[in-house]
Amino acid sequence: MQETRRTPDHRITAVLFDMDNTLFDFVGAKIAACDAVNRRLGLDRGRDLLFYFLRHDGRSFEDWGHIRDFMVDNAVFSEDLYAECCAIYEEVKVQNLIPYPHIEETLLELKEQGLFLSVVTDACFENAVIRLEKTGLFPIFDEVITADMTGAHKPDPKVFLLALEKMGRQPSEVLMVGDSLRRDIGPAKKLGMMTAYAGYGDRNFLEDRQKKADVTLADIREVLKVVNGKNGV
């Protein structure tokens, strides 16, 4: 665990977690799903399909329209085949969601210590619940904050302000844990939260690294050290 600056002396009572690539390897699951779609299409361009999802074209990271564009560009599109590929993509993606090592035990230890735990994600509520239930993590969290609740996506501060409201906490009481320096760490820190960068899960291929967190995590278990050290335990 690497500290980037001295942490302020406030008691942490809640931990706010990003979901994808912080709790589990979502990009890895998407790669498996893109490969499965390619096998159905008789192609070998799984990584190319992944980068269709990574485009900044105004659509979400999960919009099935990226599959449509990929199929059209590769001259294999039909409506029936497109519907089949979308179903394959969703099934394989969810099947391949596995929590990172020590995630569940760390969350349960935080709960045992009496901390309020919440997820904040750019996924819609239905998809967030599907992923958290598949990984067995859903019952552990007190709140799940999703993009459709605010109509905004991270790093928009409205997302984090709603999370604070739902948790009933002041920013100084909250530790934000996320894999994106731009979408998780920067806005949370600006609002006054303590921040922990989940470097172990960062799959943000196209993101700059200009933002700095209070702490960099090599392992999720280090969250316990951060919380306990900050609480003076």
Least confident of 9-13, 189-193, 224-228: 9-13
How many H-runs (helices) and E-runs (strands) does the chain carry? 10, 7
Contact between 126 and 94 (Cβ < 8 Å):
no
Interatomic CA distance for residues 213 and 178, integer angstroms: 10
Cβ within 8 Å of residue 217, ≥6 positions away = 1, 177, 196, 197, 198, 199, 200, 223, 226
84-131, pLDDT tens digit by residue? 999 999 999 999 999 999 999 999 999 999 999 999 999 999 999 999
* pLDDT for the residue 57: 82
Structure token digits, residue 210: 């200009």
**Residue with the larger pLDDT of the pair 104 and 56:** 104
Interatomic CA distance for residues 221 and 228, integer angstroms: 12
Indicate yes or no: pTM above 0.85.
yes
Interatomic CA distance for residues 7 and 228, integer angstroms: 12
**Residue with the larger pLDDT of the pair 2 and 169:** 169
Percent of the chain at pLDDT exceeding 90? 82
